[in-house]
A and B are shown apart, each in its own frame.
Chain A
Amino acid sequence: MSDFRPLTPLGAHEPRTDTHGPVTLTEVVDTALASCSSRLGHEAQARSALQDFLGFALPEPGQSVSNDPYGAFWMGPDQWMICAPHGTHEGLAAQIKEAVGETASVTEQNDAWCRFDLTGDHLPAVFERLCAVDLRSWSGGEATRTSIDHLGCFLVMTNPDHVRVLGPRSSAGSLHHALLTAMRSAL
């Protein structure tokens, strides 16, 4: 066990939670991430190998799957972000690489992102102050890339009262501030 004590994206030892009205904003640190992008000409094999590893069909454009322990969302043509709990899957990228072999390029993204989960009612009211995504048309299982507070973020909806926001880790403070401000403003 390493003596290295990790810091959360917000710069503390414990993740932060804020509640305003019906919505709770949680800094989620137990997330391992790996991008998986098919090699040219190996798209079918990569998809098949990755699906075997994950145990579910890969999401189509604009879609996400949030299973236990693995989740995935579509990032681009033949490219997905794979998620799993960091506590048990810190080496996620290496594990996926082993599964897909030469059919895909895999890159560790564990700490490239900060993750904030918003849970509760009236999430569309919050997000309509943040980004151009039409959350009211979502029902769960969607994902998209969007811009929040000038930051490129991923939005993943597991169900209508649970949205995950993945944003650039170095700007976690700014993103958290933007999310909390929108909650206070909209709710």
Chain B
Amino acid sequence: MTQSNRVQGGLINRDKTINFTFDGKRYQGFEGDTLASALLANNVRLMGRSFKYHRPRGPLTAGSEEPNAIVELREGARQEPNTRATTAELFDGLTAKSQNRWPSLTFDAMAINDRLSNFFAAGFYYKTFMWPAAFWEKVYEPIIRKAAGLGSLSLKSDPDSYDKGFLHCDLLVVGAGPSGLMAALTAARAGAQVIVADEDFMLGGRLNSESLTVGDQTGHAWAQSIAAELATMPNVRIMPRTTVIGAFDHGIYGAVERIADHLPTPPEGKPRQILWRIYSKQTILATGAIERPIAFEQNDRPGIMLASALRSYVNRWAAAPAKRVAVFTNNDDGHRTATDLHAKGIKIAAVIDTRPDAPTSTDYEVLRGAQITDTMGRLGLTFVKVAQADGSQRTIECGALGVSGGWNPNVHLASHQRGRPTWNAEIAAFVPGDTLPHGMHPAGCAAGLFSTHATLKSGVDMAEAALSALGHKVIRPGLPETEDAPVRITPFWHVEGAKRAWLDQQNDVTAKDVKLAHQENFQSVEHLKRYTTLGMATDQGKTSNMGGLAIMAELAGKAIPQVGTTIFRPPYTPTAIGAFAGRSRDEDFRPVRKTPSHTWAEEQGAVFVEVGMWLRAQWFPKAGETHWRQSVDREVLQTRKSVGICDVTTLGKIDVQGTDAATFLNKIYCNPFAKVPVGKVRYGLMLREDGIAMDDGTAARMAEDHFVVTTTTANAVGVYRHMEFVRQCLFPDLDVQLISTTEAWAQYSVAGPNARKLLQKVVDPEHDISNEAFPYMACGDISVSGVRARLFRISFSGELAYEIAVPTRYGDALIRKLVEAGEEFDAVVYGTEALGVMRIEKGHAAGNELNGTTTALNLGMARMVNKKKDSIGSTLSERDGLNTDDALKLVGLKPVDAANPVPAGAHLMTKGDPVDAAHDQGYVTSACFSPNLGHHIAIGYLKRGDARMGEVIRLVSPLTGVDHDVEVVSAHFIDPEGDRLRV
């Protein structure tokens, strides 16, 4: 019979039947059900196996705090492990599987662990798997991981997308229970911008689970009427299925909105979830409270759950976990469960109350001053054993047991910024302390106010407090009449003498484990947590932490507040990693920057490489070329022979203007810039404050008060940031203005003996770019096809070379024009590989050499650090440690046997010396095959390198098996005199 445990009533839509499967078996539920409520309605109490001992478990709760009913939802790539059956909304076609069992849930071979429990006490791993050390990773850990655990991953890419978003409000109300709704109503009527977020799909909080009335309505109906009013107000945003997972600085909260978790698949184009960053001016913490269990022998059997959960299943979901039910409580609230279930016709076997003065009932038996000492039922509860006040034992038959040890306010968000909760003895629970996040106001149960009247009133009070802080005028809404019962509780944490009394059901931590931790001196709560794993994993101990603290306090002879709580950290509930990633995944992991010639390069079949976010052409393969070296060698040889073109737009360009522009650059660069003539470019080296080389580049003086500075591609942002810092913080009195123009100009290098001839065909004829009119290191404004352009005669390749720039929109047209004009010279377009080869042949430093550890001295540029002026890094570059006699110097290296490569990263050793770090002489920074020289070459740093020209030295790389001889030579392999630059 389907849904044999349904009772009347409930907030489910019986007109809409939903089909689903659990462990392959088909079931039916109704719209409004969770997976857990639907399974209970179908008389399924067993929903999972525990983490360590594989004990049969059913739901302990009816909410997000659930430790036990953890399942795998869906199939294929959407399979999601470790999902709480208690919050999973039922949808047609839902498939769910139990976890951590083999071969089946009812017969789990790994349950042998339970029989061996004496061996698996807290600290077991640490004590047992000590020897041999190497076995931990290879043997022990894999075995333990297989035996213990939760769900399994699909190992497929998540097919869903996730959004990130940003919201702003005057008042964020976290939780839409009675206090939250009342606070939201108060604030909304006052005209404030209000966001109400609740993790449930139905607003109302506990009102949906209780039988009490508010005004002349049921609690649920009242909640719906408030929600309906809020929904009509344009200043209110109601966010169901939204969990506020963290409280961060300055009133910022993280919230996960589940857009499509209740649907088979998200609608086209829509995300599965959204991670919201909510900027709130004030916040109402209306997160409610979570009931806590009592620890007693064998208290984890399916069917044993929190009394409030039992009430929720019956009242809200019309699902009775069993036909015969008992309640075990230490407070009056537990009696509500008995009353409500009795009213629904469920047999109350007994209410076992630890208090001698417990209230009695005419409807069912109340055992005052009694305790449960044991339970029975292998896969589900059948009997409880009770020790009565008079010392007699009694066995009571029941299929479900509601346990209430009192309620813990949900102080998590109040404590995310290290706010410590304080102990409230009246309710025997922690409440939010004084050190709250800015603008937070705890209300209702979260503040330890447990009667419905008190929660409603506190909602209004706190909204008023929050809004008056914002200067809003509040008209207090009238409070409807409702219950106002006092909290009557006598703390009772665990039944004495119980051996297997579960505190943390998710981690299989017992009262005995806590005692062991105490005995072994792990007495701080944080140590207790690490040693026993109490409070870890997906539920973060929401139902277990207090029990552990109480027992530790008892053992240590302290009061609970003296023991304190562990640190609360976000997220409040498990959050998909996908939500944190948002859209930044796969090809959208980060934005792409494309060069102005990208379209053209794609047409040529260029092979691209990522340089930072830029996509740059690495080389341009031609027909017949089967290896990248063929393309690169061709590009290099042809450039040096005739002319080559390269897109160099990615180099940073910074516009520096102002009457003090030259003075400013004189500070930025270690070499002099004050006297650079207008129309000239100068190479510059920039040092960090500590004297280490930061970046190199050029500065072109376009006018007396205007420079265009270029940076390396990789350091463009860093250099700009550095220059802004220098401008704003170090020299605010200088008249200088900066702005990046990297993206504004498409810039191409035209290099090689025929560079000028090619450009003369392209540059408009009124501009004389002859060697006389436009010599080496000249710069100026020109035009190309009538378009304004800039020309710089600078060279990275060592050839006669220019860089020509046009506004970026014309970059595509310019590359096509250059290629067309270059046809008669057999011009090539070259990529970053050829660029690299040519700069190594020329001995030019790049990122590999400016590697954050090297100085101007190392680079062979010590004389560039001008001592007639003060520039950034100049003074600290004089530090003794940077100026030793055996300082590293940049040298060239060529193999003694021409067939050998000279790989970058290999280290240099003096011949005859041992190969160890103490004798290290330096290392190779950049290497390539030089098609011009016909063998491999490299540049690198060698101690006293400038004095060791001609020395044969040992090149070693133990990692890659390199060990051969290289000769120390000048780093300038090609045209060392620089004649080619000036022709």
Contacts and interface: CB of A to CB of B under 8 A. Distances in A.
A168 interface: yes
Contacts of A168: 593, 743
Interface string B728-748: 000001111101111111100
Contact of B583 (A8, A11, A113, A178): A178
Contacts of B163: 129, 182, 185
A40 B595 contact: no
A178 B784 CA distance: 35
Contacts of A6: 809-810, 812-813
Interface stretch (B270-278, B310-318, B877-885): B270-278
B598 interface: yes
B764 to A, nearest CB: 10
Interface string B951-965: 000000000000000
Contacts of B744: 108-112, 169
A3 B614 CA distance: 28
Given A111-B808, A131-B166, A4 B784 contact: yes
B674 interface: no
Interface of A: 1-9, 11, 29, 35, 37, 39-41, 79, 91, 102, 105-113, 128-129, 131-134, 136-137, 149-151, 168-175, 177-178, 181-182, 184-185
28 contacts: A1-B786, A3-B785, A4-B814, A7-B596, A7-B599, A8-B809, A37-B657, A40-B660, A105-B655, A105-B657, A105-B737, A106-B657, A107-B657, A107-B739, A109-B741, A109-B744, A110-B809, A111-B745, A112-B741, A112-B743, A112-B744, A132-B279, A133-B166, A149-B583, A168-B593, A170-B594, A178-B591, A184-B269
B165 interface: yes
A4 B785 contact: yes
A109 B742 CA distance: 10
A128 to B, nearest CB: 5
B461 to A, nearest CB: 28
Nearest to B589: A150
Interface in B698-744: 705-706, 733-737, 739-744
Contacts of A111: 743-746, 807-809
A173 B737 contact: no
Given A7-B599, A40-B734, A128 B592 contact: no
Interface in B208-240: none
Contact of A149 (B591, B807, B809, B814): B591
Contacts of A149: 583, 588, 591
Contacts of B583: 149, 178, 181
Nearest to A7: B812
Interface in B803-819: 806-814, 817
A88 B830 CA distance: 37
Closest 4 CB pairs of A and B: A174-B591, A105-B657, A111-B808, A40-B735
Given A11-B594, A111-B744, A129 B164 contact: yes
Contacts of B165: 128-129
Given A11-B599, A111-B807, A39 B740 contact: no
Given A129-B163, A132-B166, A169-B743, A5 B813 contact: yes
Contacts of A174: 588, 591-592
Given A4-B814, A134-B168, 6 more contacts: A4-B784, A102-B659, A110-B809, A169-B743, A174-B588, A178-B583
Contacts of A170: 593-595, 614, 649, 743
Contact of B813 (A4, A102, A106, A133): A4
B166 A151 contact: no
A108 B592 CA distance: 24
Nearest to B164: A129
A9 B165 CA distance: 26
Nearest to A6: B809
B740 A112 contact: yes
A182 B735 CA distance: 42
B611 to A, nearest CB: 12
Given A40-B734, A134-B279, A137-B168, A4 B787 contact: yes
Contacts of B739: 35, 37, 107, 109
Contacts of A129: 163-165, 274
B127 interface: no
B613 interface: yes
A113 B743 contact: yes
Query: Among the interface residues A5, A169, A170, which one has the most CB atoms of the partner chain B within 10 A?
Result: A170
A185 B167 CA distance: 16
A13 to B, nearest CB: 9
Contact of B591 (A40, A132, A171): A171
Contacts of A109: 739, 741, 744
Nearest to A8: B809
Interface string B1-43: 0000000000000000000000000000000000000000000
Nearest to B168: A134
B269 A185 contact: yes
Contacts of A91: 788
